[in-house]
Structure 1
Amino acid sequence: MPKEKSGALMRFINWIEKVGNKLPHMFWIFLGLWVLVILLSGVLAGISAIDPAKGEEVTIISLLNKEGLYWILTNIVKNFAQFPPLGLVLVMMMAAGFAERAGFIPALMRTLTKVPDKYLIPAIFILGICGNLASDASLVIIPPLTAALFYSRRKDPIFGLILGYAAASSGFTANLFIAGTDVLLSGITDAAAKIVDSNYNVYPTANYYFMVASTFIITAVATIFTVKYAMPRFARWEKEYEHAQVPEEYLKPITDYEIRALKKALLAAGGYFLLMLLLTIMPNGPLRDPTQNTIVPSTFLKGMVPILFLFFVIGGYVYGKSVGTVKRLTDMVNYMADAMKTMASYLVIILPIANFTYTFKHTNMASVLAIKLADFLKSAGFTGIGLFISIILIATFINLFITSGSTKWAFLAPVLVPMMYYLGYTPEWAQLLYRLGDSSTNSFTPLSPYFPVIIGYASIYKKDVGIGTIISRTFLYSMLFLVTWIILAIIWYLLGLPLGPGAPINL
């Protein structure tokens, strides 16, 4: 492989890679943070702050005593078992894993093969952005598919690969539907919000309105940028592509038989979801809140995870039955069990994450730190748009080193959410700002576990493709997504629009 030119950009990338590779596993990072909180609770014990919401004094308590040791040992298992994201993620992964293995989700993505040339670019962005319905699976399904689409139409396949990767990774936080990301992050945000208000609830629909709007806006901006700027400069067909050994399954278009099965599955799953929605919006509907008869909150919103579970199960089952990937009911169980195997590392990491979060809350360190940070920002006059952009950029920078979105939010949320709360902003707004920064640079960081996979796919078409080739293109789209989202967030804030059902920006 030829040596890439060592310009300023590549030196920066190499520095990121070098630093990131020295970080220990997330388990050890959070175990260290957990131990650090316990030690600091003894050092900082007695420091207090006045909760502006309740007018009560909040004091840091020490765990370095007999009572503290009792609390730690009797709550380790309880903290793990009751951590909100744990059950939510496992339930969602069972359903999404089944739908993926039954072929329902991959079939949705392969519909791109039927798209005419003039609609291909926006279709790639729409489908790539919405691909997180399949969670990380979209990052290994969409890029090779878009590369093969470009190849079959004698367009630069590596550029097609980059488009699919940028859409699926940098656009990971947006969607037209409620996805696993919404469920996972809202669970962490909900736990952080309860540090300051035990009655506050954050739902998976917390950022839904913004995400639907941003899906279309990001698609429009990225399409214009691609057609007018990126393709003329970077998308060139090379002679070497003529000899590419492209796997047959990448070039195989979706068949009419599969499309008919997909239509049946979408009709069944979509009809079910529409029924759930109608049972919520109709007067005195059974899925409204049982005591207040409201839509926000409601049984529909609080029960979003089991509702989505059935959506994926119905879609996967109908599609699988139609094409033969699901022959018996036991196939469904086997597919779900297989999906759970991929969650083993997540279960291990959750143990220190959950205990770090609850220990941070129990010692009152999270509340005191958040109150003092909020007071400092207020006295410095650093609130509003400047603060929002800073939070987005901090999340963007951290994402270059730690690529797991839920991992970063797990240690940022206990401070960021209460701090924003005391400044008068909702947990939903704090979560959104984090998501925008976290998602944008997903395709840019070489520390992503999927980046080597993309290099491998690119080498199918060009053996000597370098890291710099991929980085230079994905960097452009990362910055495009980031700037677009910052502008959209500022406009959203200035207009005072709700982020989702019952989710305003200001308290």
Structure 2
Amino acid sequence: MAKSENGILSRFVGWIERVGNKLPHIFWIFLFFWLLVIVLSGVLAGISAVAPGSNEKVEIISLLNRKGLDWILSNMVGNFTKFPPLGLVLVMMMAAGFAERAGFIPAIMKTLTTVPDKLMIPAIFIIGMCSNLASDAGTVIIPPLTAALFYARKKDPIFGLILGYVAAASGFTANLFIAGTDVLLAGITSTSARIADPSYNVYPTANYFFMIASVFVVTIVGTVFTIKFAMPRLARWDPEYEHAQVPHEYLTPLTERELSSMKKAGLAAFGFFLLMFLLTLIPGGPLRDPVKNTIVPSIFLRGMIPILFVFFVIAGWVYGKNVGTVKKPTDMINYMVESMKTMASYIVVMLPIANFTYTFTHTNMASILAIKLAHILEVANFTGVGLFVSIVIISTFVNLFLSSGSTKWAFLAPVIVPMMYYLGYTPEWTQLLYRIGDSSTNSFTPLFTYFPIILGFASVYKKDVGVGTIISRTFIYSLLFLVTWTAMILVWFYLGLPLGPGAPIRL
């Protein structure tokens, strides 16, 4: 046992944790990167690249001049307020916070305590991976729920938090349903494919068969790895957890009144969601796309965050009125205000993160980095497995620095998709290779937009939790996802399986 616990991987994970915990607060890290981009924009000013497809020259813009200073000062506040993850997180946490304080979410968590331990881990993987149906909202909702689930069972809640986080963030390429991400990436891939074939179309279902298989394969591999390796070595109950500011209602059984209220709230909330879905499903439904009259894309998918907001509000209101935790309308407002207090640290951290992201984009440094890396693949002239793995690795590497999947693909696709097309591979296959590399390391990189909020959730249970604690554990899962999916694409390729409806690997 001692030998296994002191193995190479265990020691490496320990080293990452020790080094990572010595890093400064995430606020200072992003502030440093923001300032570094500003300085490098002046040093590297004039360096350019040609954007594939449009043949447009992209040149690094210097911010170390009067015009650059004007842009920085004029846009600092705007960059912060218009940063999409800020509004997404606050809106979702406002509604989810109300549902939690009204007692609905704790009631659900108490019912989950009856699920056998052997089913808990696979359930977390499946639910986490499918949560991207609600876009990035799943990355915000799932981790705190899994942390509370572990806490209720006297298991390491930070490990539970991380497990939910990697399932939702790194599991972005797996799903049982078609999500908004599939629509977005398919549009970019179609545009890039038309560089080689003007009539080519890529549909949102392009990778659907692979996505479905991934849910089950990754769940099986992840469950075995978690039970056999990760939990015995990395999940420890710290005495400090006893003092965590977590509602102890999680640990007590539901009363008859609470059980009845939960059922009523669940029926009301899911009834609303079903209505929204039916208004999308019926031909000519009001929540279909107003132009294409389609389900994918549709108003339903684009409006998932507001729909989920109403979902949680209905659930919290019905439950709270029945058990007495919500007596008047102002109670709902007060609960939402309380939930926003817990988001203070996240809001502060978002200031340098948002400005770093927009500054990196405005200077064209992000674009040129993506173009240059894509060009390396083009001139390397790899074929077969070597090329496939190269695309995955490049996507993985770029994802460590740029968290927006659509932004990266918008610059990589115009080179990689036509290149692969001329080598005889379909755009759908190229898109899948990118998605694997892009998705796997989402939970590992501290530059991922939602990484700071995970730190905030972890601090609920342990105040001095560091960046290294999170990174050291997400690293092994990112590696696990990457290896598993790489093995899957090789099997898929050699068997010649379709990626989705009408989407083969070869042209």
Normalised by the length of structure 2, the TM-score is: 0.68
d(CA) in 2 for partners of 1:217 and 1:423?
27
Answering whether residue 270 of structure 2 is matched by residue 270 of structure 1, we say yes
What is aligned with 1:419?
Answer: 412
Answering whether residue 176 of structure 2 is matched by residue 141 of structure 1, we say no
d(CA) in 2 for partners of 1:299 and 1:269?
19
Give the 3 Å change call, closer, same or farther, for CA 353–134 of structure 1 in structure 2.
closer
Q: CA deviation at 1:335?
A: 1.5
Deviations 1:108-145, CA, capped at 9 Å, x for gaps = 23223444688666556656777967344224311123
**1:393-412 to 2 correspondences below 5 Å:** 410=403
Match of residue 168, structure 1, among 164, 167, 188: 164
What is aligned with 1:64?
Answer: 64
Give the 3 Å change call, closer, same or farther, for CA 416–422 of structure 1 in structure 2.
same
Residue type of the alignment partner of 1:423 = I
Deviations 1:298-355, CA, capped at 9 Å, x for gaps = 2222222111111111122222222222222222111211111122122222222222
* Conserved? CA contact 2:125–2:219, under 8 Å: yes
How large is the Cα RMSD of the aligned pairs?
5.1
What is aligned with 2:421?
Answer: none
d(CA) in 2 for partners of 1:366 and 1:113?
45
What is aligned with 2:438?
Answer: 434
* Conserved? CA contact 2:173–2:439, under 8 Å: no
Q: CA deviation at 1:386?
A: 0.7
Q: CA deviation at 1:480?
A: 5.6
Give the 3 Å change call, closer, same or farther, for CA 120–371 of structure 1 in structure 2.
closer
**1:55-204 to 2 correspondences below 5 Å:** 55-115=55-115, 122=122, 134-147=141-154, 167-173=163-169, 174=171
Deviations 1:61-84, CA, capped at 9 Å, x for gaps = 222222222222211112112222
Q: CA deviation at 1:41?
A: 1.8
Answering whether residue 390 of structure 2 is matched by residue 387 of structure 1, we say yes
* Conserved? CA contact 1:207–1:432, under 8 Å: no
d(CA) in 2 for partners of 1:211 and 1:139?
23
Q: Secondary structure at the match of 1:376?
A: helix
What is aligned with 2:38?
Answer: 38
**1:201-240 to 2 correspondences below 5 Å:** 214-222=214-222
Q: Secondary structure at the match of 1:423?
A: helix
Give the 3 Å change call, closer, same or farther, for CA 390–474 of structure 1 in structure 2.
closer
* Conserved? CA contact 1:143–1:454, under 8 Å: no
Residue type of the alignment partner of 1:102 = A
Residue type of the alignment partner of 1:276 = M
* Conserved? CA contact 2:63–2:363, under 8 Å: yes
Residue type of the alignment partner of 1:418 = F
* Conserved? CA contact 2:158–2:458, under 8 Å: no
Give the 3 Å change call, closer, same or farther, for CA 65–44 of structure 1 in structure 2.
same
**1:311-326 to 2 correspondences below 5 Å:** 311-326=311-326
What is aligned with 1:27?
Answer: 27
Q: CA deviation at 1:165?
A: 6.0
Give aligned pairs, total. Answer: 439
Q: Secondary structure at the match of 1:171?
A: helix
What is aligned with 2:199?
Answer: none
d(CA) in 2 for partners of 1:124 and 1:209?
21
d(CA) in 2 for partners of 1:15 and 1:225?
20
Deviations 1:134-183, CA, capped at 9 Å, x for gaps = 34422431112334xxxxxxxxx78xx899567434424359999xxx99
Residue type of the alignment partner of 2:306 = P
Deviations 1:264-321, CA, capped at 9 Å, x for gaps = 2221111111111121222221112223333333222222211111111112222222
Q: Which runs of 5+ in 1 are unaligned?
A: 148-156, 198-204, 236-243, 399-407, 457-467
% identical equivalent positions: 52
Normalised by the length of structure 1, the TM-score is: 0.68
Give the 3 Å change call, closer, same or farther, for CA 485–46 of structure 1 in structure 2.
same
Residue type of the alignment partner of 2:145 = S
d(CA) in 2 for partners of 1:170 and 1:317?
31
What is aligned with 1:463?
Answer: none
Give the 3 Å change call, closer, same or farther, for CA 75–385 of structure 1 in structure 2.
same
Greater mean deviation of Cα atoms: 475-484 or 296-305: 475-484
Q: Secondary structure at the match of 2:153?
A: helix
Give the 3 Å change call, closer, same or farther, for CA 234–73 of structure 1 in structure 2.
closer
* Conserved? CA contact 1:115–1:123, under 8 Å: no
Q: CA deviation at 1:385?
A: 3.0
Give the 3 Å change call, closer, same or farther, for CA 15–412 of structure 1 in structure 2.
farther
* Conserved? CA contact 2:49–2:58, under 8 Å: yes
